[in-house]
A and B are shown apart, each in its own frame.
Chain A
Amino acid sequence: MPDLALKTLVHDKLRFFITVSGVAFAVTLGFVQVGLFMGLMDNATVTIRKMDADIWVTSRNTPNIDFAHAFPESYVQRVRAVPGVADADNLIVWFMNMNLPSGAQEGVEVYALEDFSKWNIPWNVSEGNLDDLRRGNFVFLDDSGIRRFGPFQLGEYREILGRKLRIIGRTQEAESFTTTPMVFMDYELAQALNPDELQNRTTYMVVRLLPGADMDAVKAEIAHLLPYNDIYTRDAWAAQSKRYWVESTGLGLNMYLTVFLGCLVGIVVVAQTLYSSTMEHLREFGTVKAIGGSNADIYSILIKQASIAAVVGFILGAAMAYAMRPAIASINLKLIITPELAVAVFIGSIVMCLASALVSFRKVASIDPALVFRG
């Protein structure tokens, strides 16, 4: 059967290009906005997800992992005594200032532990031995800091809160939600750098359970022993950290608004081009009716054209989004495109285009086939 829908759609190449561009624009915007959002959310929880800890103990009402409050480090002894706990250690997460060779200062997010290897953090070490951190005024720096701190080499020194620290290792992918690079140092060194706030204090306790231990029972027991702390499972703590950024900063609203506007632009462009195409082909649709075709025959043409525009626009939009990933990565942002996101955007494209086609349906329904007799 001659494919009137496809052939008519591609017959006017400029119009087809405009229609597909509208869809591709909306698709790219959807991928980039949601992908960046997911990248930021990934940063917001990356250490929670990567760390080999089943339970996190925080001070009361800590909003997210980056905004920590200190509490007595001795509490860890109580936690270690809870039945079902295999390991429990103190973890300090704290913002500090680093002096740069240029004389400027930049913020870094310090992660401090006694034994990093035990907790699988940092998870991507490209140079250096984590065990060496225990031996003195040493740090591991993340490569994401290069844009802010400039290039660095192992063996160089950087000053944090007035103390010279030697760089003995390099990590990758350790970047916070605020894109502040992470620095890894020994637990006692972090306390020594900021004794006013961190002497004998920690900001988190990370807990690993014994195999087969009852998570709820352990949580309940820790909560009983530490009534002024909050206790989270890994997933709950990650969700809490995400929720803070989405709800408290308007970031979620911003993303939804941009995606909505992208879809709106896509719908307007596609609806407008499909409608003007319908108007331009009124005589042909009238001919379809005159030779015995029904409204349903013409609706199927419009639906097919909208679906083709959606599929081609999706492919182009997705390709553009993928092509933008290296450029986005070069400014230390992550564009995460998951299969679930791709499926959601594809379905969204189809729905958007079909909704656009509906605008033309009323016009088609009102076509008088007698127009074919008009000169």
Chain B
Amino acid sequence: MKERNNGAVLDAREIRKRFTEGKQTVDVLHGVDLSLHRGEIVALEGPSGSGKTTLLSILGCILTPTSGDITIEGDLVDIARPASLPAVRKRSIGFVFQQFNLFPALTALENVEYALNIKGIKGREATEEATRVLDDVGLGERASFLPRDLSGGQKQRVAIARALAGRSPILLADEPTANLDSQMGRQILDLFRDLAVKEDRALLIVTHDPKVRAICDRVIEIQDGRLAA
């Protein structure tokens, strides 16, 4: 469904989220508006419990909001139909997780290839694309390594390569440097920024890390489910 197109690749309006457990209800997000543009790098900061992971999950179409609209690449996401969300994730979103979340039984190349297969890219095309992004993150030499044989920084590079593969316009990263030492964290951030800008992707990074601010075009703060003015 075509909705609005203000140039943003991702546009979220009036996002609210209420969790109910038994008789208790908790309002986590209170009408959040957020836009991401191609080539833009945005940091989302906030204290624990402020709602940033919930917002990230909603923007990534993993979680449905209680109310509000999300538009991705000009198409309104049908949040009333959760079964439609995997297709949106396949097409438009790449994730980088704090815990890397690589498949331990697959090599670096296969981890990226598998994600491409899920996105519908298969065979030689998938292998070539996986090889390309692994080369981009500097891991071409270690494509045949299992995750257990890679360092933390190398694992996160594989995770970044997996997110970049398939040319999803939106990259969402959850604390990508939290499990890395400061030097490795800096390298990963520089790499991530360079690749996102080079490939004209929109990148949203949820972080506590002050170093992240330095590479971002914008910093958004969230507190008690509301974006700071």
Instruction: Give me the interface of A with B, judged by CB distance under 8 Å.
Output: 1-2, 4, 7-8, 10-11, 283-284, 286-294, 297, 369-370, 372-373, 375
Contact = CB atoms under 8 A, between A and B. Distances in A.
A8 B122 contact: no
A8 B111 CA distance: 12
Q: Closest 7 CB pairs between A and B?
A: A292-B90, A11-B105, A2-B110, A7-B105, A292-B89, A287-B101, A8-B105
A304 to B, nearest CB: 13
Contacts of B162: 291
Contacts, number: 80
A288 B118 contact: yes
Interface of B: 53, 56-57, 60, 62-63, 86-87, 89-91, 94-95, 97-99, 101, 103-106, 110-111, 113-115, 117-119, 122-123, 126, 162, 174, 178
- Looking at chain A's contact residues, the main secondary structure is helix
Given A2-B110, A288-B118, A373 B53 contact: yes
A290 B89 contact: yes
A7 B60 CA distance: 28
Given A290-B95, A292-B86, A370 B57 contact: yes
Nearest to A8: B105
Contact of A1 (B103, B105, B122): B122
Contacts of A289: 62, 86
Given A290-B60, A291-B89, A292-B119, A2 B113 contact: yes
A342 B129 CA distance: 45
Given A1-B113, A1-B122, A292 B87 contact: yes
Contact of A373 (B86, B97, B113, B115): B97
A194 to B, nearest CB: 73
Contacts of A7: 103, 105-106, 110
B49 to A, nearest CB: 14
Nearest to B103: A284
Nearest to A295: B86
A365 to B, nearest CB: 12
A292 B118 contact: yes
B89 A8 contact: no
Contacts of B126: 1
Contacts of B87: 292
A292 B106 CA distance: 18
B206 to A, nearest CB: 8
